[in-house]
Amino acid sequence: MKKILTASAVTLCLLSACKDKKTMDNPFFSAWNTPYEIPDFGRIKPEHYMPAFEEGMRRQKAEIDSIVNNPEEPCFANTIEAYEYSGALLEQVSGVFFNLSECENSPEMEAIAEEVTPKLSAHADDIALDAALFRRVKTVYDSYFRADGTCDSAGLDAEQLRLLEETYKSFVRGGANVPASQQERFRQLNSQIASLTLRFAQNVLKATNDYRLVLDADQLDGLTSDQIAVAREVANADETTKDQYVVTLHMPSWEPFMMNSRRRDLREQAWTAYTSRCAGGRYDNTRIIDTLVNLRLERANILGYPTHADYIHADCIARTPDAVYRCLNQIWTPALQKAKAECAEYQKMLSADDPGAKLQPWDWRYYSERLRRQRYSLDDDEVRPYFSLDGVREGAFMVAHKLYGLTFRENQNLPSYNSEARSYEVLDSGRVIGVLYMDFFPRASKRSGAWMTEFRGQHVDRDGNNIIPVIQIVCNFTKPAGGKPSLLSFDESETLFHEFGHALHGLLSRCRYGSLAGTNVPRDFVELPSQIMENWCRNPQVMRDYAHHYQTGESIPDSLIAKIAAAQTYGQGFINTELLAASLLDMDYHTLSAPQRIDPLVFEKTALDRIGLIPEIVSRYKSPYFQHIFTTGYDAGYYSYTWTAILDADAFQAFQESGDLYNPALARKFRTILESGNTRDLMQLYRDFRGHDPDVKPLLRNRGLL
């Protein structure tokens, strides 16, 4: 709060606003008198958000105005740093609202989100395209970074230079440098792209919801009793299918059906329905793809990049499309080889069932699942007793303690947004460095999935105070039931370690500027801290330390560890091939360098034929429903999953090679990566840790592709 009072214009408004009783009651307008200034959850009510958002935007606007109208020459402090510190209230209310709308949702929260989202995006646009503000940013930038690429760092330390560079870059990438004659077109492109991506998503949703495979009792051959019960429930929700069974195109319904149904004809129907979504017809997305890809190219060209991928990668660790192709191609060949071997095995099984039949894409999951059960029957009920939620959580804490010396002190007296969430003070050498909420079980107000977020990120405020992070992990794990504690599947255990890894990235952050701190790193780096933790989760030695039977306390037997390990490399030919096919397809669309008419179905076939994809496998997502790249921000970025997987496997390999999974010297170096946020060159940080560039071999080995 203090920092906002330094701007006189803002102070006045704040004082006059205080006359309003309503405003005085709004917890966002006063300091939080809570431990560690944790958000005052108990006092925050839905009606407080909108006024706080409005006031937050107004204050930031005033702060920007005072930067722009500053009569002094632009300098780092009065422009770059002042801009960095602006919008504190807005950040505070956003940090609470958007996190709670994911895990404490309600119609009221949804209505607020709908009202505020367009306002926030207009507010962000106003800043991004504020010509006067950009002129000042550019003046400062040009005084340090010369046109010949050299840099005069006089007076600024490395983190300040990084902030200057990143701030300038974000304005340029947002279009601030676009010549006046093209500004109008640039804005048009942005808004057209935004509305097309929205329509794309709506079409996929509608096409997915539109299809139902209605089955009678004699068509359920092979389905599990759980599956049948769910199919029955879905059918009964609709009068027209009452007492029948319905399979939908949503993953939890479709995929198990493809894995278990013995009816080849029905599998073909379900597969065809799934893979032909939005490829023509009522919810056609093919025309949208054609337009979208061309508009993205045009926008990249206006920004000075030859392709959309060049534009995207310039802000990633990968840097160039070439580097991305190289990365993907390294895995493509061994993955395809493995997939062909898998294909031959399934063909043999099919031939035994149905002599003369040729394996088709709708047979793949079915035979893969059958063979998996034969070979690696991993009985869930055998695994779960060793992975009690408390045990796995303690295991994650143990790893963080051994690596970084952290301890986690539960304190349920900290303010909380829901009594189900467990609250921890995180200590390093006796000093609290952050607060962690762990919110594990599903409830109606929580969206599905698992994620980590920050109510407040670590940073140093304008007065030099280190502000500790307030981090949240949200999951949807199996609840305690039937007198048993929560017992996790192995997947869920990995998820816990994964999200905990993100949390460590936020907790260990030691940066000055919030926009560079913690998890604010490029998309193709952000999963390294999380994915590397999964390696400890599945390491036999570590597992023996944390996976104890919840009743007997006995350590997990080696035979079960071996089964878990074997199950992990099973089916990797298919998994990697369909993932890489999709990643390469994404790259092919976004490395087009000349506008052209695109028929996505033809384009996709050509692209996949070129890399030799076998007809029994299709891209994980076919173009017309490839939402990652046409709606959710993974355009020219679907490779990130593979890229970071290479990094995490290679990074963990360093610990293994050292013979000590908690090697102190390596842990210290990896901690530097976690502490540094985006304040330094991340690839250089990685090399400092590893001693060389990331090597693909550990990943290939882990996935059984070597």
Interface contacts to Zn ion, rule CB under 5 A: 527, 530
Distance (Å, whole) CA 157 – CA 513: 12
As measured in angstroms, the least distance from the Cβ of 467 to Zn ion is 24
Q: Which residues pair with 460 in a beta bridge?
A: 466
Residue carrying the six token digits 């105070």: 465
Nearer to Zn ion, 257 or 497 (CB): 497
Evaluate whether 535 touches 568 at the Cβ level (below 8 Å). Answer: no
Residue with tokens 């394996």, as numbered in its chain: 359
Compute the least distance from the CB of residue 364 to Zn ion, in Å: 27
Cβ atoms of 349 and 359 closer than 8 Å: no
Cα separation, 602 vs 387, in Å, equals 48
DSSP symbols for 193-244: HHHHHHHHHHHHHHHHHH-EEEE-GGG-TT--HHHHHHHHHHHHTSGGGTTS
Is residue 703 within 8 A of residue 572, CB to CB? The reply is: yes
Please check whether residue 681 is in contact with residue 161, taking contact to mean a CB–CB distance below 8 angstroms.
Answer: no
Catalytic residue among 55, 84, 499, 527: 499
Q: How far apart are CA 400 and CA 344, in angstroms?
A: 44
Q: Which is nearer to Zn ion, 82 or 452 (CB)?
A: 452
C-alpha–C-alpha distance, residues 642 and 451, integer Å: 19
Is 114 annotated as catalytic?
A: no
Least distance (Å) from Zn ion to the CB of residue 241? 38
Instruction: Tell me how far apart the alpha carbons of residues 68 and 70 are, in angstroms, rounded to a whole number.
Output: 6
What's the CA gap between 230 and 56, in Å, rounded?
46
407 C-beta neighbours (distance < 10 Å), count:
14
Nearer to Zn ion, 502 or 622 (CB): 502
Best CA proximity match to 668, nearest among 434, 404, 426:
404
Q: Is 219 exposed, middle or buried (0-12, 13-18, 19+ CB in 10 A)?
A: middle
Shortest Cβ 530–Zn ion spacing (Å): 4
Rounded to whole angstroms, the Cα distance separating 705 from 177 reads 46
Residue 293 C-beta: closest distance to Zn ion, Å: 28
CB of 451 vs Zn ion, minimal distance in Å:
7
**Nearest residue (beta carbon) to Zn ion:** 530
CB of 574 to Zn ion, least distance (A): 23
- Under 8 Å between Cβ of 422 and 577: no
691's tokens:
């001693």
Residue type, 352: A
DSSP 40-76: -TTT--HHHHHHHHHHHHHHHHHHHHHHHT--SPP-I
Residue number, 453 or 631, with CB nearest to Zn ion: 453
Q: C-beta of 366: minimal distance to Zn ion in Å?
A: 30
Residue closer to Zn ion by CB (options 168, 440) is: 440
Print burial letters for 625-637: b (CB count within 10 Å at least 16), e (below 16): bbbbbbbeebbbb
Give me the residue label for tokens 């005052």. Answer: 40
In the bound complex, what is the minimum distance in angstroms from residue 499's beta carbon to Zn ion?
7
Cα 129 to its chain centre, rounded Å, is 27
Residues marked active site are found at 499
